[in-house]
């Protein structure tokens, strides 16, 4: 087998495409022949030791894969060699073969391509948990998404529309705005890359104008930094501000704002929620597969690379140039 290994903290160029022995599944595990691996923003952080999880080196990044079971360990029931599966790995997914606990597997829908399957769990799982479990988004409400053209943002657009919300997509360029409209956003806002105080006031004014007198009921913030405060200033009474990620930096929020708006600032840690509430996670996955079968959601893959070129994929993610998802194939 081959693996894209991080042997020292650093950027994508520090990764090494390495030949290794095939792993053998332990009790309760299966071995998967990986067909595709999704690429996500945390992959750019974990290789720099900037993520919540810091695996011992050497390790491969990659939190979600799709493939075919090729060997089953002792004590595993309900799975067979040849089954097409999706697996959440946390890390370790940029490999050609991987052993994972059977409890981490999901059966792929028969008509789902491997590339889409590898780009499904992380983004849709995060956004469904955020909008349904944490925000209780209702039909007719206004949903604003910061960073709407990325993986989780694009998923939030589709899920927001499926829930009956009016969706405003906030992005950093015209091509990203076009992409968001194409996948269902009702309105778009383009914000500048450099967010000074004047730009904050302009962004807040644009959001208020587009949201209308009622304001934003649910804000999905996948950007953070100085972009967060203008959104909170635009919230509706009793709105819900979802903290999903902060690639632009950890925001500094004046706490008088949630008081004046009587709004909630709600954390979204989907990865931890999977372990805290596995029953709820499986229910959400079942709902997401149903939405996929109804053709209401579908991973929007804008770039595909051979796994040996994982560094190029990670550079795209880090530079915030991605529309939707990026996938690696074996």
What is the mean pLDDT of each successive set of 10 residues along the chain, which is 330 residues long? 98 97 98 97 95 94 98 97 96 98 95 97 97 98 97 97 98 96 98 93 96 96 97 97 94 95 97 94 97 97 97 92 94
State the sign of the Cα–Cα–Cα–Cα dihedral 8, 13, 18, 23. positive
Q: What is the CATH number of the domain that holds 89?
A: 3.90.180.10
Q: Are residues 257 and 209 in the same domain?
A: yes
Q: Are residues 166 and 210 in the same domain?
A: yes
Q: Are residues 132 and 262 in the same domain?
A: yes
Residues 6+ apart with CB under 8 A from 106: 85, 86, 87, 121, 285
In whole angstroms, what is the distance from residue 118 CA to residue 323 CA?
A: 16
Q: Are residues 89 and 131 in the same domain?
A: no
Structural domain includes residue 282: no
Domain containing residue 252: 122-271
Give the chain's domain count: 2
Structural domain includes residue 293: no
Give the β-pairing of 325-329 and 301-306: parallel
Q: How far apart are the first and last CA of the chain?
A: 11
Q: What is the pLDDT of residue 250?
A: 94
In whole angstroms, what is the distance from residue 120 CA to residue 293 CA?
A: 13
Q: What is the pLDDT of residue 321?
A: 81
Q: What is the CATH number of the domain that holds 169?
A: 3.40.50.720
């Amino acid at each position: 087998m081959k693996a894209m290994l991080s042997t020292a903290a650093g950027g994508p160029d520090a990764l090494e495409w390495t030949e290794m022995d095939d792993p053998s599944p332990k009790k309760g595990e299966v071995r998967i022949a990986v067909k595709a691996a999704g690429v996500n923003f945390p992959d750019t952080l974990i290789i720099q030791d900037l993520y919540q999880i810091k695996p011992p080196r050497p390790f491969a990044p990659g939190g979600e894969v799709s493939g075919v079971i090729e060997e089953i360990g002792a004590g595993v029931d309900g799975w067979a060699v040849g089954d097409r599966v999706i697996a959440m790995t946390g890390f370790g997914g940029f490999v050609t073969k991987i052993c994972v606990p059977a409890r981490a597997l999901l059966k792929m829908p028969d008509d789902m391509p491997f590339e889409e399957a590898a780009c499904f769990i992380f983004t849709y799982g995060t956004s469904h948990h955020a909008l349904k479990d944490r925000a209780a988004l209702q039909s007719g409400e206004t949903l604003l998404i910061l960073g709407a053209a990325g993986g989780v943002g694009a998923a939030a657009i589709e899920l927001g529309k499926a829930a009956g919300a009016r969706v405003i997509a906030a992005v950093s360029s015209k091509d990203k705005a076009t992409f968001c409209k194409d996948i269902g956003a009702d309105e778009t806002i383009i914000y500048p890359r450099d967010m000074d105080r004047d730009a904050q006031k302009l962004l807040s004014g644009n959001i208020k104008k587009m949201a209308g007198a009622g304001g934003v009921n649910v804000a999905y913030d996948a950007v953070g930094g100085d972009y967060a405060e203008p959104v909170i200033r635009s919230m509706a009474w009793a709105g819900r501000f979802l903290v999903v990620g902060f690639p632009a930096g950890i925001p500094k929020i004046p706490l008088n704002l949630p008081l004046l708006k009587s709004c909630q600032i709600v954390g979204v840690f989907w990865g931890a929620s999977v372990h805290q509430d596995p029953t709820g996670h499986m229910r959400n996955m079942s709902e997401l597969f149903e939405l996929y079968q109804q053709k209401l959601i579908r991973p929007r893959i804008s770039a595909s690379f051979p796994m040996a070129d994982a560094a190029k994929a990670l550079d795209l993610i880090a530079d915030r140039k991605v529309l939707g998802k990026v996938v690696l194939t074996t």
